[in-house]
Amino acid sequence: MSEQGDHSAVLDGLQLVVAGERDAVGSLTALPPDLFVRAGEEIVALRKVFSVCTDPMTEPFRTATERIDALQQHLEDLVRMRSQKILLLALLRAEGRPLDREHQKRMLPAEQALYDDVRGAVDRYRRALIGGVLPAGAAGDGPVTAECAIAAAAMDLYPGTAAASLDLARVLSPVEPFLGFDGRTYALEAEDVVTLPPENAAVLRERNIILSILPGK
């Protein structure tokens, strides 16, 4: 349980984790294994203020409320970002693409279960549609394939991904390898001229990592 003087430390640490996850475009970060437990304990500790101070206009009541709201929002943001990345990784793996072991090492047990469930669900979906229709070994030859199923699922997760054209850009500073919204891994060096999925390009452009070429086209 956190002491009174440590309340801001837990919140500050969680803010740094969320910022790091947001900056890791297309890649999972390594989380402290007790991150969610500590945040939960912190919320419980803060709520004890309400049993001592019941006036919502007092400073302790307002501070506790603000910190609880901030902790809950950061946890929601973290889960949302990581679940989107894990869903995309699972869809790509179900398509037959290799999974970087570093991604798997960085998954918490609940995230590994999510990853396995999505892979299993896509596999069951494929078998239900084409398992008894196509001859053995011909799954990639017909008009309905596992790749089509993955693409359809990815479009549901990221509307407009398939239809959008790639953005042409010049790289201003190097970037660690990351997984793009199109399933490709990108490793960018300064002065590279590349095409990127619009979603990735928007994030990198906002951070002044790339400069769009012919942005009006």
User: What are the pLDDT digits (tens) for 84-104?
Assistant: 999 888 888 877 777 788 888
Q: Are strands 185-188 and 193-196 parallel, antiparallel or unpaired?
A: unpaired
| pLDDT of res. 91 | 84
| pLDDT of res. 94 | 79
Residue 168 near residue 195, CB atoms below 8 Å: yes
| pLDDT of res. 214 | 62
Domain coordinates in residue numbering, the chain: 4-91, 167-212
Name residues of the chain where pLDDT drops below 70: 1-7, 131-165, 214-217
| pLDDT of res. 142 | 35
* Burial of 26 (C-beta count, 10 Å sphere; 0-12/13-18/19+): buried
| pLDDT of res. 132 | 57
Q: Both tokens of residue 51?
A: 């049993």
| pLDDT of res. 161 | 41
Residue 158 near residue 180, CB atoms below 8 Å: no
DSSP-assigned letter for residue 182? T
CATH 3.40.5 assigned to 167-212: yes
Residue 146 near residue 95, CB atoms below 8 Å: yes
Indicate if the alpha-carbon torsion angle 84, 89, 94, 95 is positive or negative.
positive
